[in-house]
Amino acid sequence: MLDIQVEEADSYTVCRPVGELDAYNVSQFREALGKLTSRPKLLIDMSAVPFVDSAGLGALIGGIRRAREAGGEVAVCCNRPTLTRLLHTTGFDRIVTVAETMAEAAGALAEPASR
């Protein structure tokens, strides 16, 4: 089961999926990200996601693309080594900031857009 937590921080919105992000529940994640694409700064915290399959990765990339098309900025926080390795291997970190801590991800959102 996937739980998606959304909270407002000082100057950005946090989307925190909790649980596996796979083909069985990817529509729930896609829908949640779709509702957040109008936010100017979005931080996606993947720290509570133990597994992501290709459908989950596709939903993550699609959500980031939609947010950027709406003029927003996005950063991802991920402190799970296997997931971080996946994000680096697939080149995901070349399209969006991938930080190990929430503070680093929030800091990337505070900087002027560079990507």
| Res. 52: pLDDT tops 80 | yes
pTM above 0.85, yes or no: yes
User: Over the chain, what is the mean pLDDT?
Assistant: 92
> Whole-angstrom Cα distance, residue 64 to residue 51?
19
CATH architecture of residue range(s) 3-110: 2-Layer Sandwich (3.30)
Q: What residues contact 42, with CB distance under 8 A and at least 6 apart? A: 12, 13, 15, 36, 67, 72, 73, 74, 75
> Whole-angstrom Cα distance, residue 101 to residue 3?
20
**pLDDT band at residue 113, thresholds of 50, 70 and 90?**
low
> Whole-angstrom Cα distance, residue 28 to residue 53?
14
Q: What residues contact 10, with CB distance under 8 A and at least 6 apart? A: none
